[in-house]
Chains A and B, each alone.
Chain A
Amino acid sequence: MTGSNTGSTYGGSSVGAGTTHQETVGDTDVLGISPVAAEHLVTEFVEDLSVFDGIVAKARAIVLRYPDSRSALLPMLHLVQSVEGRVSQAGIQFCAAQLDLAPAEVSAVATFYTMYKRKTCGEHLVSVCTNTLCAALGGDDIYNKLGEHLGEDGKKLGHNETVGEPGAPGSVTLEHAECLAACDLGPVIQVNYEYFDNQTADSAVALVDALRAGEKPAPTRGAPLRDFRTAELELAGFWPEDEADYRASVDGPSAAVETLRGAKLAEDRGWTAKPYPAKAPLPEVEKK
């Protein structure tokens, strides 16, 4: 027995296989890496909330949807992101004021969910599914390729990092995502949560090049592409007011070949479920 094998191990296995925790993970400058200061996550002063003047009425409308006002918090955080492209300390204070909560209560919620971004997002958010199934079909390669392609000065663009001035036209934020519930169409990418199905590394590079050039490629399934902030406004429950725009977005494509595969096979082969019986009355029950 060597005696040196103490530290952070689990039954003889240690995460990085160093002999002590320090050796395994290196010393940590907690304050140095903490985003607290850089992102003003903790501030003592009251932020200027005037950027949100335009959404006060919408925030109140969200509250009215629910029997209990606190239920409005998740949609309201989406609403705040539609203004700033992220959830800032000011956004947190805005929600807290609208819902009569402490800012700390709102922070605790905002930091729990992946879709609330701490850094300002690009005009477009590109999410690459790297869960097992998509990864096995090429999702990991796509994510790596995009990181290299969008990186600058020989440095890869990392998870939740943005190329271009965040929010400016053509800016793109890259992230890897968990299963996006489109596995039959994998590998899958979303741009502003619209689906781009059956991707390859090449098609993905062409996609982000088009976004960088200010184009709006059509998703395989979803509405005509807009930007991240508009998507967040929709997630808060606000839809295009112009009727034609609204119809175009609702009627954006969804009928992928894969989605319809079973229904089509049944139609071609003449397979159906049994027809309903002539009469199917509701069962009799004793009146209570």
Chain B
Amino acid sequence: MTTPNTPSQNPTAEPTINKPAPVTPVLTKRWLSPTSWSLKTYEQLEGYSALRKALGGTPEQIVELVKASGLRGRGGAGFPAGVKWSFMPPNEDKPHYLVINADEGEPGTCKDIPLMMADPHSLIEGCVIASYAMRAHHCFIYVRGEALHCIRRLNAAVREAKAAGYLGRDILGSGFDLEIVVHAGAGAYICGEETALLDSLEGRRGQPRLKPPFPAAAGLYGAPTTINNVETIASVPFIVNGGADWFRTMGTEKSPGPKIYSISGHVTNPGQFEAPLGTTLRELLEMAGGMKDGVPLKFWTPGGSSTPMFTAEHLDVPLDFEGAAGAGSMLGTTAVMVFNETVSVPWAVMKWSQFYEHESCGKCTPCREGTYWLTGILERMLDGKGTPGDIDTLLDICDNILGRSFCALGDGAVSPITSGIKYFRDEFLALCAKNTGDQNAATASPALAGAHS
């Protein structure tokens, strides 16, 4: 029995007047303006008006607003930003810190870097508002070192903002002080993990910390700290100006707002498309001009290599936090990497495994050793020396990494493998075809105790 009145079953019944446009430029709306990165352009296009408004209210009001907007973290995990901010202690017994995660390194992800190049002041303004809301007087923007042009633009923006009185002492006569330091990383994907980032920012090897204590209790220099992604914080000035209800005109009840979808790979027109959360791949492909040269879609990631891959059967999955999870993956960073039929899944999986092996920080055994074995086995399979038993071994290793690693890098490392085997087992088997039959000896005597439960 169907219920014809539910909007999902009958989209035309929805009042079209309330439907947002397919592309909703908010974060990206200034990007087309000439020298969009300059303070002059920014001020002409509503820049720093949200800061004036925010400083006219109390920190509690800003936290409440961000909570009401339903803004969820754009760095991958989707934690509600306002709730995270409210974990910061109300007193100032110790200094409070805001740290911006601009380490963008998840394979496929390419939204924060264009944002910081095109509109660095939106991030700076967001930082001032968020710092005011959390009573932080020191904010660090940790940018991956390879993003030199962003670092340059951010530094220039900080200089301009400071000269104009939007940063520094007694901002706009409010009595609120804030310093922003732009800090360059040095090439390590793991430093995107928020506690590894803090260790790195303290001048150490970037290795994750045990939680609890959570950063809001003991973060940078052991003091209360909030870590947010670039896109999360850059959304804040728009929420301050437009209000929570306006923000919720885009996206879904649980995943409100616009989101920058980064479409790359075998499509006609790859690029950045800011659309309401819940947009589907079918819709995104239409914006991107369809599959390149008409070669059919084979597999894709909804949000980077750490999110389990999807196939053509997932074209209509709404790409919001619930939709992606409901279909067995994760929204991640909305890094939509599209691969056509010419790409071998085991090859792609092997390449990603090499990445995780290289980037594993080495702190915990399942990830450090597991990624080594996964990569070696996949490389050997691709070399034509695989056996069907290898597939079970891969899954077994994945099982020993997933949920048993110290941080989420380990979990991410197994996503391409388990999802690749789930949807494309035949391709893995095909790699072993010529070795079946005569390899019983090799698979009969597992030599590593504990490898099989």
Chain A positions near chain B (C-beta within 8 angstroms): 1-3, 5-17, 65-68, 70-75, 77-78, 99, 108-109, 112-116, 127, 130-133, 135-137, 177-186, 190, 192-195, 221-223, 231, 234-237, 239, 249-252, 254-267, 269, 271-274, 276-277, 280-285, 287-288
Contact indicator A10/B444 (Cβ below 8 Å) = no
Contact indicator B206/A283 (Cβ below 8 Å) = no
Contact indicator A181/B117 (Cβ below 8 Å) = no
Contact indicator B112/A65 (Cβ below 8 Å) = no
Contact indicator A258/B270 (Cβ below 8 Å) = yes
Contact indicator B274/A131 (Cβ below 8 Å) = no
Contact indicator B242/A262 (Cβ below 8 Å) = no
Which candidate, B2-10, B165-173, B244-252, B318-326, is the interface stretch facing chain A?
B244-252
A17 interface neighbour in B23, B109, B182, B385, Cβ under 8 Å: B385
Contact indicator A12/B355 (Cβ below 8 Å) = no
Chain B positions near chain A (C-beta within 8 angstroms): 20-26, 28-29, 31-32, 35-37, 53-54, 56-58, 60-62, 64-65, 68, 90, 95, 104-110, 112-114, 117-118, 138, 144-149, 151-153, 155-156, 181-189, 200-206, 221, 240-246, 249-250, 258, 260-266, 269-275, 287-288, 305, 335, 337, 339, 343, 348, 351-352, 355, 358-359, 361, 372-373, 376-377, 379-380, 385, 387, 389-390, 392-393, 396-397, 441-448, 451-452
A75 nearest in chain B by CB position: B184
A183 nearest in chain B by CB position: B264
Which of B144, B147, B359 has the most chain A CB within a 10 Å cutoff?
B147
Contact indicator A193/B148 (Cβ below 8 Å) = yes
A135 nearest in chain B by CB position: B351
Expressed in whole angstroms, the Cα–Cα distance for A206 and B258 within the complex equals: 41
Asked if A271 meets B448 with Cβ closer than 8 Å, knowing A66-B181, A113-B188, A136-B348, the reply is: no
Chain A contact residues: helix, strand, loop or mixed:
loop
Asked if A222 meets B149 with Cβ closer than 8 Å, knowing A237-B155, A271-B24, the reply is: yes
Contact indicator A260/B31 (Cβ below 8 Å) = yes
Expressed in whole angstroms, the Cα–Cα distance for A270 and B269 within the complex equals: 19
Contact indicator A222/B148 (Cβ below 8 Å) = yes
In the complex, 20 of the A-B residue pairs with CB atoms within 8 angstroms, ordered by the A residue number, are: A11-B451, A13-B377, A13-B442, A17-B442, A114-B188, A115-B187, A132-B305, A133-B108, A179-B109, A183-B337, A184-B271, A186-B265, A235-B148, A258-B272, A272-B29, A273-B249, A276-B241, A280-B243, A282-B57, A283-B61
Asked if A273 meets B264 with Cβ closer than 8 Å, knowing A133-B337, A260-B271, A287-B58, the reply is: no
Smallest CB–CB gap between A63 and chain B, Å? 11
Smallest CB–CB gap between A87 and chain B, Å? 10
Asked if A132 meets B270 with Cβ closer than 8 Å, knowing A75-B184, A115-B187, the reply is: no
Smallest CB–CB gap between B34 and chain A, Å? 9
B183 interface neighbour in A67, A75, A131, Cβ under 8 Å: A75
Provide the residues of chain A in CB contact with B274, threshold 8 Å.
262-263
Expressed in whole angstroms, the Cα–Cα distance for A177 and B118 within the complex equals: 24
Expressed in whole angstroms, the Cα–Cα distance for A287 and B275 within the complex equals: 37
A132 interface neighbour in B113, B348, B373, Cβ under 8 Å: B348
A265 interface neighbour in B23, B266, B393, Cβ under 8 Å: B23
Asked if A263 meets B25 with Cβ closer than 8 Å, knowing A73-B203, A183-B108, A282-B65, the reply is: yes
Expressed in whole angstroms, the Cα–Cα distance for A235 and B448 within the complex equals: 46
Which of B110, B393, B448, B451 has the most chain A CB within a 10 Å cutoff?
B110
Smallest CB–CB gap between B387 and chain A, Å? 8
